[in-house]
Amino acid sequence: MDSEPRLKGADRPRSVDAAAVAAGAPSLTQAEPLFELIELMFFAYRDFVGDADRLLETYRFGRAHHRVLHFVTRRPGLTIAELLDILKITKQSLNRVLKELLDKGYVEARAGLADRRQRQLYPTATGTALALDIARLQSQRFRRVFSVSPETAQEDAIGFLLSLIDPAEREKVAALVASGARFPSPPHGKDATSNPDLDETP
């Protein structure tokens, strides 16, 4: 199943039944923890990122490098402020990781098209190749599961994962994921630089 279903907004979780709570039924916060789901989420994530970790180790990169490279490759021209908003990390944390990717030639920073005081980030050919290698590797795990699952499994998985995201962020994330480039081409131009201005105003 190579086709990618269109992202749909997930249904919001049902509100707590006030009458049931008044009658003595446990609320969502009082209910028994869903240990199976909590632990299965941990192990599934462990193995999912482990596929990428083993490849990244050969480049002496870690998960933080992968996150930056992934979103820059999927969204060429992303500003530093936009990247910070996606990753929810500090400028100091981003600075260290981004500097390594710039210095090693995986990412380029260019003056902004609308505001030249900004820095927009683009993957180089080397960065694009690595990001796609990791994406294909991680996709293999999904495809193995979907190949033995019902036809709606991929769309159901997308809906489930969207539902786990905070309601205030859900629509923004769905739009962001749906807008990513499939096979972006690295930029070329005289404005490319290896010294991004991390002090730009978000």
Length of the chain: 202
- Which SS3 state, helix, strand or coil, does residue 5 take? coil
In the prediction, which pLDDT does 89 show?
Answer: 92
Q: Name, in order, each residue with C-beta under 8 angstroms of 86's C-beta and a sequence gap of 6 or more.
A: 71, 176
Specify the pTM: 0.75
- Which SS3 state, helix, strand or coil, does residue 49 take? helix
Cα distance between residue 75 and residue 123, in whole Å: 9
- CATH architecture of the domain 34-149+184-193 equals Orthogonal Bundle (1.10)
| Closest by CA position to 186, among listed 117, 102, 125, 98 | 125
- In degrees and rounded to multiples of 5, residue 192 shows phi and psi of -65, 140
Q: Give the CA distances from residue 175 to residues 4, 86, 133, 166, 180, in Å, rounded to whole numbers and listed in that order.
A: 15, 12, 24, 14, 9
Whether the pLDDT of residue 185 is over 70: the answer is no
In the prediction, which pLDDT does 116 show?
Answer: 78
Sheet bearing 78-79, strands edge to edge: 78-79, 119-123, 107-111, 192-193
Return the structure tokens found at 19.
Answer: 């009458």
Decide if 200 contacts 117 (C-beta within 8 A): yes
DSSP string for 44-93:
HHHHHHHHHHHHHHTTT--HHHHHHHHHHHHSTTEEHHHHHHHHT--HHH
Decide if 54 contacts 158 (C-beta within 8 A): no
Q: Give the CA distances from residue 101 to residues 26, 81, 195, in Å, rounded to whole numbers and listed in that order.
A: 50, 17, 11
In the block, which residue shows the tokens 């999904």? 142
Mean pLDDT taken over the chain: 83
Cα distance between residue 60 and residue 72, in whole Å: 19
CA angle in degrees (0–180, nearest 5) for 151-153-175: 115
Tell me the per-residue pLDDT of 18-67, one tens digit each, with 9 for 90 and over: 454 455 555 666 789 999 999 999 999 999 999 999 999 999 999 999 99
Cα distance between residue 167 and residue 146, in whole Å: 27
Whether the pLDDT of residue 162 is over 60: the answer is yes
